[in-house]
Amino acid sequence: MSALTDLIFAGSNAVAGLTEKAVADAIAKHGEDAKVAFPDTAYFFPTIYAATGVKVAKLGDLPACVNVLKSLITNKPELGDALNAGLATAVGAEILEGLKYLESANPYEGDSGIGFVPDPIIRSLGVPLVTGDIPGVAVVLGKAESAQDVVGVVKDYQSKGLMTFLVGDVIEQVAEGGVKLGLEFRVVPLGHDVTSVIHVVTVAVRAALIFGSLQPGDLAGLLKYTKERVPAFVNTFGPIDEVVVSAGAGAIALGFPVVTDIDLGENQVPGALESETDHSLTVKKSLELRGIKIKVKELPIPVAFASAFEGEIIRKKDMKVEFYSGKNVTCELVRMADPDSIEDHRIVVDGPEIDSGEVEYPLATFVEVAGAKMQADFESVIERHIHAWFNYMEGVMHTGQRNQVRIRISKDAFDKGLRLHHFGEVLYAMIMDEFDTVVDKCQVTLVTDPAKAEHILKDIATPVYNQRDDRLQSMTDESVDTFYTCTMCQSFAPSHVCIVTPERLGLCGAVSWLDAKATNELNPSGPCQIVTKQHMIDERTGRYEDVNEAVKQYSHGALENVTLYSLLEDPMTSCGCFECICGIIPEANGLVIVNREYSGMTPTGMTFGELASMTGGGVQTPGFMGHGRHFISSKKFARAEGGVERIVWMPKELKDDVAERLNRTAKELCGIDNFTDMIADETVTTDPAELVDFLTEKGHPALTMDPIM
Ligand code: SF4
Ligand code: ZN
């Protein structure tokens, strides 16, 4: 037996012993019926659930799991046996971590790690992962001999947009090295115990359940999914003990290669477990092993530029200058121009640069683009990216759009030499990179002169905004000749297809009909394909022969019939990354909608996570449907079931967010004023009987509609 497999079995046996004792102690203390659960998940102990189908809910469920765990440890020298022992370690770690949540609701309070990652966060990662915005997931574990080594590696991952999870003393090393930690920076500390590495494993496991429609108990299917679809890998720093080694074997079993910074010599397993003692090569080696390719963007600006900086917040005390609509004229506009009227790559700052000594400036960002294939409809699609592109600059914060924006530049970025003309370089480079199919020429004018900025806002931008709003208002499913597919999420949910229409955006909320149209134009063989709509079968439910054919083709036969407007009759499928989910509440003869951000209870007796677990993976589940926020105020929302009038409950934040548009729709469709006043939220009740009382008192229309089921 090799030294390596010896170590793996030693680690697994140690974890098995610890787990068995911890379970016995917990039962002795709390009794078999004591409930155990991770917070905010519908997948129980996710690894155990996915691998065996067992739904751990109370302490009494655990001894059987410990037996399964022990049976995985054969102590035989073959690689397969060693990998199974690694899985046993994962199961043990999951149980040990789960027991922490028995002792305290928030066992990670006081630790710099976050512990268990709730389901909604995983769902929110769906779109960035499928678009390649997050190209991979790194797990960095241990304690580096020299802190700089790990700081350099993590910064490199951050600048490449990867999501990095930290376990062990590397957390402090990285924090002290000046790396900002948090989900928004894509550097997430999990915890100090090596068992906390399970919290990233369960992310991968739940991805299989949420997006991959994995059947619980299908261990082979689970391992295939994580290997093929979850682009994760592990880096260890510093000496590794037997438990780390056996955890590493678990990672390898899931298909995640491990790169360690100690020399393993002949114990290396090519492609799965490799040594890299030169830390300047760790990143390259890891990405190669996992087959992750990074598109590098070299921009002529003095600060870093990466999607990982998108969530950066710049506080007043750290800010050098600000452009804020509340104080000065600001606007952002992308406009199609006559090719002869603009000069490619011309970047002009019209008015003072930001080193003129002021703190606050007006700013009109005016981008003119021209190209043979450019269409006015793509202006807003490009314009919407300004928000992200500005945010990608380290030391720049951008919120809002159009004439309602706030942009801050940090002192740090200013000191590094960042000026407004660099903003122009960023816009130019990104537009030419991402929209090269439709844009041949691009000119950027950044206006800080107050009178000139005012002129751009009043005479150019405002009329364009108004025109666009009118166009969007008048754009209905009936007014266009084509819909589009979106199959972007197939990398995680292989049989899922969104059908995107003017009145129904993609369920992730990120793909409108105009976006899909632009995507199709930019990449004709890409994820957004044209769907004709010549053969309507049924108007009420939005059933088309053409749509069915498209869905059948692009789901590779997994799906044959889909309606656009019904939630009960062949509803559209969900991949898992939906912004909201709606479900039927029979007691109130209506629909409850809940958004990903809301973690509380709903009158259906289920949380967002629990409702969300009823659907996903490209499977149809009548009665539950994922959708985007904007769809709520659509005239086509659940039209077959009676439309928006069916909505009886939403979390308050969501209700407030959609109120204006939803009230307008309700007024137009059914003549109701201030409809959202009739809709309950968590401040009213989460109890079905009280909900009905509330609706009765308000005279909510759902109560007198045809029975929903
Ligand atoms: Fe995924 Fe649908 Fe959004 Fe496309 S529109 S990215 S398939 S959720
Ligand atoms: Zn998705």
Whether 615 has a pLDDT exceeding 90, the answer reads no
H or E element that contains 498: strand 498-500
Task: Tell me if residue 500 falls in helix, strand or coil.
Answer: strand
Q: Is the pLDDT of residue 46 over 90?
A: yes
Q: Are 167 and 140 in contact (CB under 8 A)?
A: yes
pLDDT tens-digit map of 243-276: 999 999 999 999 999 999 999 999 899 999 999 9
List pocket residues of ligand 1, CB cut-off 6 Å.
127, 486-489, 498, 500, 506-508, 510-511, 575, 577
419-454 pLDDT, tens digit each: 999 999 999 999 999 998 899 999 999 999 999 999
- Check pLDDT > 50 for residue 170: yes
Closest CA to ligand 1's atom 1: 489
Identity of residue 287 = L
Render pLDDT for 632-668 as a digit per residue (tens, 0 to 9). 999 999 999 999 999 999 999 999 999 999 999 999 9
Per-residue pLDDT reduced to its tens digit, 656-666? 999 999 999 99
Bridge partners, residue 141, by sequence: 167, 236
Model confidence over 554-563: pLDDT tens digits? 999 999 999 9
| Tens of pLDDT, residues 85-105 | 999 999 999 999 999 999 898
CA-nearest residue for atom 6, ligand 1, is: 488
Ligand closest to CA 529: 1
* CA distance readout (Å), 505 to 87, 176, 323, 510, 514: 41, 43, 32, 8, 9
Ligand nearest to the CA of 510: 1
pLDDT at 549: 97
Q: Which atom of ligand 1 is least distant from the CA of 127? A: 6
- If you search the block for the tokens 């909320």, which residue do you land on? 509
pLDDT band at 4 (very low <50, low <70, confident <90, very high): confident
Please name which of 544, 555, 554, 542 lies closest in space to residue 503, comparing C-alpha atoms: 542
Asked whether the predicted pLDDT for residue 57 surpasses 50, the reply is: yes
- Could you tell me if 195 and 93 are in contact, meaning their C-beta atoms sit under 8 angstroms apart? yes
Contacts of 422 (CB under 8 A, 6+ apart): 300, 301, 302, 393
Q: Please name the residue that has the structure tokens 């706030």.
A: 406
Given a cut of 80, is residue 2 above it in pLDDT?
A: no
User: What are the DSSP E strand ranges found in 224-306?
Assistant: 232-237, 258-260, 273-275
What are the CA-CA distances from residue 597 to residues 151, 581, 653 (Å)?
32, 11, 9
Which residues are CB-neighbours of 541 under 8 A, at least 6 positions away?
A: 563, 564, 565, 566, 569, 570, 639, 640
Of the candidates 109, 161, 106, the residue with the CA atom closest to the CA atom of residue 131: 161
Spatial contact of 259 and 276, defined as CB atoms under 8 Å apart = yes
Of 124-133, 380-389, 437-446, 621-630, the range with the lowest mean pLDDT is 124-133
Cα–Cα distance measured from residue 263 to residue 256, given in angstroms and rounded to the nearest whole number: 19
pLDDT tens across 346-390, in order? 999 999 999 999 999 999 999 999 999 999 989 998 998 999 999
DSSP 284-317: HHHHHHHT--------SSSS-B-GGGTT----GG
The lowest-confidence range among 155-164, 455-464, 615-624 is: 615-624
One DSSP character per residue, 400-467 reads EETTEEEEEEEHHHHHTT--HHHHHHHHHHHHHHHSTTT-SEEEEEEE--HHHHHHIIIIIIHHHHHH
Q: How sure is the predictor about 594, in pLDDT bands with cuts at 50, 70 and 90? A: very high
Q: Cα(625) to centroid of ligand 2, in Å? A: 13
* Candidate of 484, 498, 514 to mutate for ligand 1, largest count of ligand atoms within 8 Å of Cβ: 498
Handedness of CA 238, 244, 246, 249 (dihedral sign): negative
| Centre of ligand 1 from the C-alpha of residue 50, in Å | 25
Mean pLDDT taken over the chain: 94
Cα(276)–Cα(257) distance, integer angstroms: 13
| Atom from ligand 1 closest to the CA of residue 126 | 1
Nearest ligand 1 atom to alpha carbon 577: 8
With beta carbons less than 8 A apart as the criterion, state whether 469 and 398 touch.
no
Beta-carbon contacts of 299 under 8 Å, excluding residues fewer than 6 positions away, are 305, 425, 426, 429
Task: For 308-342, write each residue's pLDDT tens digit.
Answer: 888 888 999 999 999 999 999 999 999 999 999 99
**Nearest CA, atom 5, ligand 1:** 506
Q: What is the pLDDT of residue 126?
A: 86
* CA 576 – ligand 2 centroid, Å: 5
pLDDT band at 110 (very low <50, low <70, confident <90, very high): confident
> What is the C-alpha separation between 626 and 623, in angstroms, rounded?
10
**% pLDDT > 70, the chain:** 100
By alpha-carbon position, which residue is closest to atom 3 of ligand 1? 508
Distance CA 4, CA 394 (A): 43
Would the pTM of this model clear 0.85, i.e. be above it? Answer: no
The b-or-e profile of 210-230 (16+ CB within 10 A means b, else e) is bbbbbebebbebbbebbeebb
Query: Ligand 1 centre from 506 Cα, in Å?
Result: 5
User: Do 522 and 432 touch, CB atoms closer than 8 A?
Assistant: no
Q: For residue 620, give the nearest of 553, 567, 547 by alpha carbon.
A: 567
Q: Which two tokens stand for residue 661?
A: 């548009």
Whether pLDDT at 22 is above 60: yes
- Answer for the pair 382, 517: CB distance below 8 angstroms, yes or no: no
Q: Which listed ligand is nearest to 615 at the C-alpha?
A: 2
- H or E element that contains 595: strand 590-595
pLDDT at 1 over 60: no
Four-CA torsion 671, 672, 673, 674, nearest 10 degrees: -140
pLDDT band at 577 (very low <50, low <70, confident <90, very high): confident
Tokens 């089921």, located at residue: 709
Cβ-based neighbours of 515, under 8 Å, separated by 6 or more? 381, 500
- Alpha carbons 240 and 464: distance in angstroms, whole number: 61
